[in-house]
Amino acid sequence: MLVDSDGDTYGTVGGGGMERRLVGEALKALVEGKPRTITFALGVEPREGAIPIDSRCGGEVKIFMDILKPDPRLIVIGSGHIGMPLAHLAHEAGFETIVVDDAPTTTRERFPHAAEIRSGYFEEEIEGLETTPADYVAIVHGESWYELVSLRRLLPRKPAYVGLLGSSSKGEKILETLISEGLSAEDLARISSPIGIEIGAETPEEIAVSIVAELIKVRRLGAP
């Protein structure tokens, strides 16, 4: 049986009180991010550590719960000088990459390892892009219109990480615009700007290293 983070289930382990209790335990395991084994006592005297269930079945059931995590996916907004090394390094670090841009640089030759390249009309590509709360987003385009379109569309979908390239003052101006448009404080708090860990990076490749380092940090340790 699969249990997702909303408590929805797919398949069954028999239904009844045991399954209802199991869903709650599975949600705890998802929060902890660790597997666990649980023993249920079905209508019998529970041994130490077993969870009693009102049932006429009799006996015990031991259930192992594992955590299934999808491979991390990075959506790279921008195919320019930083987008290319970023997509390459992210791929090497274990991220599935999707590149979104309508510039002539958005080609398979430049992004040979990308799982998907979306090079049509930008707004339509962003709107049609299917995302999940497990996705990472790196906005490295550099032009404000593209940045705002991306943030307006993607922030409400609550991705795991959203990074924005540029100075602190530029990030503040972007925030002011989005606040005036009514985006929620919760959504705006998802933006990491300037993107990347501070390592004194100057070249596009060095900046890409700092961004991937931050992606790894978020993946392993949680949101910045």
Domains defined along the chain, listed by start: 2-65 (no CATH), 73-221 (3.40.50.720)
Helix (DSSP H) and strand (DSSP E) numbers for the chain: 7, 11
Q: Where are the beta strands (DSSP E) in 51-198?
A: 51-53, 60-65, 73-77, 96-100, 116-118, 136-139, 161-164, 191-192
What pLDDT is recorded for position 13?
85
Residues of the chain under the 50 pLDDT cut: none
Q: How far is it, in rounded angstroms, from Cα 75 to Cα 52? A: 46
What pLDDT is recorded for position 224?
57
- Please provide the distance, in angstroms rounded to a whole number, between the alpha carbons at the two ends of the chain: 33
Tens-place pLDDT, residues 86-143: 999 999 999 999 999 999 999 999 999 999 999 999 999 999 999 988 899 999 998 9
Q: How far is it, in rounded angstroms, from Cα 222 to Cα 216? A: 9
AA letter at 11: G
What pLDDT is recorded for position 31?
77
